Amino acid sequence: MEVHDSVAVVTGGASGLGAGVVRTLVGRGARAVILDLPASKGAETAAQVGDAVAFVPVDVTDPGGVEKAVVEARDVHGRMDVLVSCAGISSGQRVVGRDGVPKPLEHFRRHIEVNLIGLFDVIRHAASAMSANQPNAEGERGLIINIASIAGYEGQVGQSAYGSSKAGVIGLTLPLARDLAPWGIRVMTIAPGTMDTPMLANLDGDFITELVAGNIFPHRLGTPADVGALVAHFMENTFLNGEVVRLDAGLRLATR
């Protein structure tokens, strides 16, 4: 699949990793549609990147809204070649507090609803839209790329909810690729390590140095551009399918 002139739909594309993917792909000649919350900076990001980008507001936990938004996103440019699922939440909380009281179930439920169920809901509608595409010479009709996390492998203290939701995304990769193979739709997952996103914007340099100390090399935060470059490679290398790629500079998370 060529990046140039392709159409990418990016959930969570208003900021952070999602915005980085949008900027990278558009910079290489693609067009994009940002799916993000109505209160997000989706319209602002789209305006900054240029006419090749549109914004469609949606909450991925609203099934009716998701179905409508995917149709609207497909209609913006007349088709959908790539879905990159970056929308997600992350909030740390131990299962049982220091007072011995269990934490509310809602904390766990919310992570599963957004990071796994919401992701899957967008995928099923996007895959349906891609199935109507004309196949290329290899028979490919589309590509789905999900953003997981290395916490899905090595969740730290307080990451039971987040780690479980991302482990679900990792586990979804191969069976989803097998399900969608008859349509010529590939599925890949990226498991990022410590990334330079707005959540880290207020941290001081010493703390950043501590965060990346566990990297084998290089000793820096990952960037949205790193993720965008890997997305572009997935598009171009059609022999990649049903696999999870860690993007983490060799980092393995410690207990905390």
Q: In angstroms, rounded to a whole number, what is the distance separating the alpha carbons of residues 145 and 140?
A: 15
Q: In angstroms, rounded to a whole number, what is the distance separating the alpha carbons of residues 189 and 179?
A: 15
Q: In angstroms, rounded to a whole number, what is the distance separating the alpha carbons of residues 142 and 80?
A: 8
Q: In angstroms, rounded to a whole number, what is the distance separating the alpha carbons of residues 202 and 62?
A: 31
**What φ, ψ does residue 149 adopt, rounded to 5°?**
-170, 150
Q: Where in the sequence numbering do the catalytic residues fall?
A: 162
Alpha helices in the chain (DSSP H): 16-27, 42-49, 63-77, 105-112, 119-130, 151-154, 160-180, 205-211, 224-236
Q: Does residue 86 sit in helix, strand or coil?
A: coil
Q: Does residue 8 sit in helix, strand or coil?
A: strand
Sorted by sequence, the CB contacts under 8 Å of residue 248 that are 6+ apart come out as: 150, 191, 192, 193, 194, 215, 222
